[in-house]
Amino acid sequence: MLSYHVRLWSPATALVGLATAAVALRVYLSWADKRRNRGRSNIRDTLPRDLNTWRLIDSVEEAGRVWEAVRLAFAHSGIFLWSPGGSASRADPNHTKLSNGFAYLTPTRGEAWLRNLEEFSCHNELTRGGTTADGLHVVIRVASIGDEGKRHAEILRKLARGTKCLFMDNHVVPLWREVQFEDIGFIVSPFVAHSMKDCYGWWAENSVGDIVDMILQALEAIVFVHDLALQDLCKSNYVVQWHPESLKTNKVPLCRPRAFLTDFEMAYEFPAEVASEDRLLIGTPIKDYQRPVPPEISSGEPYDPFKSDVWQLAESFSDFRATVSDIDAILGQMFDTDASQRLSAVEARDKLAAVVHNLPAASLLIPPTLSLLSTMSNQNYQDIKVPVAGDNTQGATMSQGFAGKYKAHEYSASSVGVLIRTIESATGSKLLLSFADNRTKLYHAAQCEKVPDNTPLGAAPA
């Protein structure tokens, strides 16, 4: 006779099995977590220990290695880092095109201009382009390492998200996301098409009306963040959705791009209870500060940082001439070396708006004049002659700004120009070159190489 032994199921047996499985799972997860953390710790040991070290990475290879090390951390957060390419990072050209609401093509440039919306030129290695999992282009910035930079992130949380970011006069680039890797805090903002530094003197064929509208928005941005002394203000810290280039269309634009303020790394926030007359600072925001500063900062005495912000913004436009006397007069008052006579941001905004709104829009459909300025050691400024580009550089040699010829490299293009101004800023040395087509462009010094003075000049790279 056959005999069958049947093992009967019981609730107690099932509970023992489940408990055993749960213990095994906990052990595995603990092991996996330790292994992952050990891997993250090993990666962290290869990354810069402070913001300045990261900012000053000076080789493409090292920058690529550093950002590649955190690629997986961003992938886990649904963000794909752009590939490095010289001084820029580039999006995957095969991704599905999707508007993020902050970067647009114009009819005058067309689809041929698309590569400029899929490329992010880095001022320094703290920033890199990226794309979210749902296809939106973003800019990623190292905001904090340990305790360093935490104030920057806190300021953005107040201004760039929540109810405040919805106000129409708030021009701060929105804060879309934060990513934490060990002690490194990254902020993620929408990719905005172009820097305001391109608004004249470079490729953008903007009219005086286009440029003055950007200046008005820049002032409105300062007024909105009224508790913040920015301490590092210039047109290169603003970005715009597109450049209207109304000189190409010869028409007043039906709408204009919105300008956004970026970079609060140097900002100082006064507590709300501090009276306006007591909102004073002494000295520069950091040691070895490189941006031009007004005389009151150099004096060593307490100064109004809001007035110095206005001066710095005006200084970055100091080579711009609207050739409309009332507009140029206001810009001059913003640039007054006497802080007591200098316009505040509110005064400058209101005066400039009043002038513009009382002029026919078509009257500002004119080209700006570029009046190059040479920064002297005593912080005085004087106009210098703009050398006429061409193979005969005799006139340029006589100009105070001439300092030889350089070949500028931009993406896959290169061209030889005359050096007419060297600019030292917080982001390093820059060279302003004049080309054979009488256009001027600004380049990071690392993008330029000195060539013999008899080298023929070329046209400015498109």
> What is the per-residue pLDDT across 93-111, written as a single tens digit (0 to 9) for each?
888 889 999 999 999 999 9
Higher-pLDDT residue of 441, 254: 254
Q: How many CA atoms lie within 13 A of 336 on its CB side?
A: 13
Q: Which residue has the tokens 């609060």?
A: 264
Nearest to 222 by CA among 316, 117, 142, 355: 316
As a CATH number, domain 197-370 is 1.10.510.10
**CA distance to 104, 129, 343, per residue, from 256 (Å):** 12, 25, 26
Mean pLDDT of 112-136: 90
> What's the whole-number mean pLDDT along residues 4-19?
58
Determine the pLDDT at residue 84: 82
- pLDDT over threshold 90, residue 141: yes
The model's confidence at residue 77, banded by pLDDT at 50, 70 and 90, is very high
> Which secondary structure element, helix H or strand E, spans residue 157, and what is its range?
helix 150-159
The whole-number pLDDT of residue 124 equals: 82
Residue with tokens 């990071």: 444
Structure tokens at 110: 């067309």
- What the block records as the tokens of 314 is 């005006």
Give the whole-angstrom CA distance, residue 398 versus residue 401: 8
Whole-angstrom distance, CA of residue 270 vs CA of residue 306: 11
- What's the Cα-to-Cα distance from 74 to each of 125, 225, 387, 442, rounded to whole Å? 17, 30, 48, 32
The single-letter code of the amino acid at 111 is E
Tell me the pLDDT of the chain averaged across its residues: 84
Is residue 158 classed as helix, strand or coil in its secondary structure? helix
Banded model confidence at residue 462, pLDDT cuts 50, 70, 90:
low
Q: In sequence order, what are the beta bridge partners of 195?
A: 239
List the chain domain ranges. Answer: 51-190, 197-370, 381-451
pLDDT value of position 89? 87
Tell me if 118 sits within 8 A of 90, measured CB to CB. yes
For the full predicted model, state whether its pTM sits above 0.85. no
Kind and range of the H or E element at 313?
A: helix 305-316
Q: Which of 5-9, 51-55, 442-446 has the lowest mean pLDDT?
A: 5-9
CB 443 within 8 A of CB 427: no
pLDDT band at 272; cut points 50, 70, 90: confident
Greater pLDDT, 364 or 391 = 364
pLDDT in tens, 176-224: 999 999 999 999 999 999 999 999 988 899 999 999 999 999 999 999 9
> pLDDT digits over 143-155, tens only?
999 999 999 999 9
- Give the model's pLDDT for residue 266: 92
Assigned CATH topology for domain 381-451: SH3 type barrels. (2.30.30)
Mean pLDDT of 221-236: 93
State percent of the chain over pLDDT 90.
58
Question: Where do runs of H (alpha helix) occur along 109-201?
Answer: 150-159
Could you identify the residue written with the tokens 């992952």? 36
Cβ neighbors of 172 (< 8 A, separation 6 or more) are: 156, 159, 160, 165, 221, 224, 225, 260, 261, 262
How many Å apart are CA 321 and CA 369, to the nearest integer?
5
Per-residue pLDDT band for 79 (boundaries 50, 70, 90) equals: very high
pLDDT > 80? residue 396:
no
